[in-house]
């Protein structure tokens, strides 16, 4: 790991100032994606801005018909939250299956979503529930937020502050995980509610995407059998030693079906 300067601002405004002043700075909270990348020298930030001292960015609350989760809320907190479990059990289930116990004790929702790793769990839930991303300067719809591998709509001096999840009528999540690290090989998050019928695939492609043929089928008939016959095109899907694009395409159908079963 290359060395870097370290800052620990006490407010979002101070963090934005630090970020705007240094184009090579990186934000850190749990650090469970950033630190492994730095160890491999894949990234060389001049400074790290530690957000963990900003109390405003923590916590889970129900606001109207939505659940709002602060960016610094850790996976373990979402997984064990009574508020989340009562309103969106699929979201608590998803959070409880990220990495392992120790990863969930450190990793945060804001870090996972800002990073937009193709193998991450959270982007699937955020797009799959049609959430709204709150930042230091605006609100962004999930449909406009994710822009492919490790790329989001966030600007260089913009910080994700919270995510607002509309409460669905039903939702479900299923993933095939890598057996060593438990990241997503192919996963599906399905929901039906105020944001329509959504089928979002994570892990399989270079970024999360909506599976529109499956959405149409489920809108007509919400049943596992409705998605079973729909083939996912393997073109453009990820292919590596853990699974070919064709294998992942097959998994998309299996996971979508399991997610609908989980949603009930």
Instruction: State the Cα–Cα distance between residues 256 and 186, nearest whole angstrom.
Output: 10
Choose, by CB under 8 A, the member of 43, 85, 105, 244 that binds other proteins.
105
48 binds other proteins (CB under 8 A): yes
Choose, by CB under 8 A, the member of 9, 17, 89, 106 that binds other proteins.
106
Which of the stretches 98-106, 117-125, 132-140, 215-223 binds other proteins when contact is defined by CB under 8 A? 98-106
Choose between 102 and 212: whose C-beta lies nearer to other proteins: 102
Choose, by CB under 8 A, the member of 10, 13, 21, 39 that binds other proteins.
39
Here's the x/- map for other proteins, 127-166, by CB under 8 A: it reads as ----------------------------------------
Structure tokens at 14: 């101070």
Instruction: State the Cα–Cα distance between residues 77 and 68, nearest whole angstrom.
Output: 13
Order of strands across the sheet that contains 170-177: 170-177, 184-193, 196-202, 209-210
Helix (H) or strand (E) holding 134: strand 132-135
Reported as half-sphere exposure (CB side, CA atoms, 13 A), residue 121 has a value of: 28
How many degrees, rounded to 5, is the angle at CA 37 between CA 7 and CA 153? 75
Instruction: State the Cα–Cα distance between residues 94 and 91, nearest whole angstrom.
Output: 5
Instruction: State the Cα–Cα distance between residues 160 and 135, nearest whole angstrom.
Output: 4
Choose between 134 and 175: whose C-beta lies nearer to other proteins: 175
Instruction: Count the residues of the shown chain that bind other proteins, applying the rule CB under 8 A.
Output: 28
Q: Kindly state the smallest distance separating residue 140's Cβ from other proteins, in Å.
A: 28
What residues numbered 176-205 form the site for other proteins, per CB under 8 A?
A: 180-182
List interacting residues with other proteins (CB under 8 A): 1-6, 8, 28, 31-32, 35-36, 38-39, 47-48, 50, 52, 99-103, 105-106, 180-182
């Amino acid at each position: 790991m290359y060395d870097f300067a370290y800052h620990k601002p006490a407010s979002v405004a101070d963090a934005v100032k630090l970020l705007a002043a240094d184009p090579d700075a990186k934000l850190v909270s749990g650090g469970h994606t950033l630190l492994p990348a730095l160890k491999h020298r894949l990234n060389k930030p001049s400074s790290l801005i530690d957000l963990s001292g900003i109390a405003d960015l923590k916590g889970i609350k129900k606001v109207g018909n939505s659940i709002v989760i602060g960016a610094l809320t850790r996976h373990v907190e979402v997984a064990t939250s009574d508020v989340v479990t009562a309103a969106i059990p699929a979201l608590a289930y998803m959070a409880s299956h990220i990495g392992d116990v120790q990863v969930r004790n450190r990793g945060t929702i804001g870090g996972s979503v800002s990073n937009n790793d193709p193998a991450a769990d959270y982007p699937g839930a955020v797009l799959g529930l049609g959430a709204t991303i709150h930042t230091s300067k605006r609100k962004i719809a999930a449909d406009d937020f994710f822009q492919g591998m490790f790329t989001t709509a966030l600007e260089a001096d913009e910080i994700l502050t919270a995510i607002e999840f509309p409460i669905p009528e039903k939702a479900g999540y299923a993933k095939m995980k890598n057996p060593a690290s438990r990241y997503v090989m192919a996963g599906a998050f399905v929901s039906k509610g105020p944001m329509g019928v959504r089928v979002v695939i994570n892990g399989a492609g270079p970024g999360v995407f909506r599976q529109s043929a499956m959405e149409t089928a489920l809108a007509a008939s919400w049943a596992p059998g409705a998605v079973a016959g729909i083939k996912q095109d393997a073109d453009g899907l990820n292919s590596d030693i853990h699974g070919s694009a064709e294998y992942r395409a097959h998994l998309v159908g299996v996971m979508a079906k399991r997610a609908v079963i989980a949603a009930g």
